Amino acid sequence: MTKAFDNEMKIEFLSKSQNEAFARIAVAAFIAQLDPTIEEIADIKTAVSEAVTNSIIHGYEGKVGIVKLVCKIVQNEVFIEISDTGKGIENIEVAKQPLFTTKSNLERSGMGFTIMESFMDNVEVESVLGLGTKIIMSKKIKTNSSQEITQEMDISEDNSKELINSGVRGEE
Amino acid sequence: MKSTFYKKDKQLVFEMEEEIDEYSVQNIKRRMDNEIQRYMPKEVIFDFSNVSFMDSAGIGLVIGRYKLIDMIGGELRVANVSSQIQKIFEMSGLLRLIPIECKNKKEVQYD
């Protein structure tokens, strides 16, 4: 079977929360080659933001570390891997529960994994206490008639950010 | 973020314009709490018209302010939320506590 499209990128950045926006915008720009809908872009950006926040806030707990992000495109599917070498998750099943948080005093909602799971097709978590956490998630970009809408809007490099920022409104 | 206090109705309106994530929330939170404590409003409105992105940090932001506003006897309303952000609020169960109004009703049906 031949692959219609294969591509990959990697970035590494310090565990500073300023970089959350950088990470999700980098992924959004990279996957633009698949002509995703505005909604698909927004879903993926939100999931990336949640995973990166988890690494920064929970993995490294404010200490400086490196967050690694790998994004792959295989045919019309996007695979995103976000990993840290922070403290790891004690119990993954418990951490995935909606509203579970170890930091409720800091106004954390405990919705990170729930959002990742509902916005992506698949989310896998690997974690070893003291060694770090890796989140692998994937989403298929649909190639159907809804694509026509995005094609009309011509997501070029210059206006892609504006389109992404305009949210689903752009589909009018 | 722009905030306006309408004396007559004791109404405080925040026009949010930032992308709402873990990073931006730290700053927004502090400014909002200061304004709320300064004016002691009867009603607070978060206008999301210009918010293009929000992750789960936004849930914490709204819950935290809701608690403060409730404590001083005020009411909170969240207005003009995009359908993407509405999905996040729906997941959190926040809709049971706080009126959150979508920008365009038709867009909700789109999902």
Given this model, what pLDDT does residue A98 score? Answer: 87
Given this model, what pLDDT does residue B18 score? Answer: 82
The interface predicted TM-score of the complex, written ipTM, equals 0.87
Say yes or no to pLDDT of B110 above 80.
no
Which of A93-102, B20-29, B50-59 is predicted with the least confidence, judged by mean pLDDT? A93-102
Averaged pLDDT, B73-77: 96
Contact B91 A56 (CB under 8 A): no
Give the containing element (helix H, strand E) for B77: strand B75-81
Given this model, what pLDDT does residue B104 score? Answer: 59
pLDDT > 70 fraction of chain A, expressed in percent and rounded: 80
Contact A98 B91 (CB under 8 A): yes
Question: B17 falls in which pLDDT band (50, 70, 90)?
Answer: confident
User: For residue B29, which residues of chain A lie inside 8 Å, CB to CB?
Assistant: 107
Q: Which of B53, B88, B98 to mutate to test the interface with A (most CBs of A within 10 A)?
A: B53
With CA atoms as reference, report the closest residue to B16 among B24, B8, A131. B24
Given this model, what pLDDT does residue A158 score? Answer: 53
Is A58:A17 a contact under the CB 8 Å cutoff? no
Given this model, what pLDDT does residue A143 score? Answer: 79
Question: Class for domain B2-110, per CATH?
Answer: alpha beta
Return residues 83-102 of A near B (CB < 8 Å).
Answer: 98
Ordered by start, the domain boundaries in chain B are 2-110
Given this model, what pLDDT does residue A70 score? Answer: 97
Instruction: Tell me the two tokens of residue A52.
Output: 């990166």
Ordered domains of chain A (ranges, CATH): 6-142 (3.30.565.10)
Catalytic residues of A: 50, 54, 108
Contact A167 B21 (CB under 8 A): no
Each residue of A92-132: pLDDT tens digit?
A: 998 988 888 888 777 888 899 999 999 999 999 999 999 99
Question: What b/e sequence results for A8-24 when a residue is b if at least 16 CB atoms lie within 10 Å of its CB, and e otherwise?
Answer: eeeeebebebebbbebb
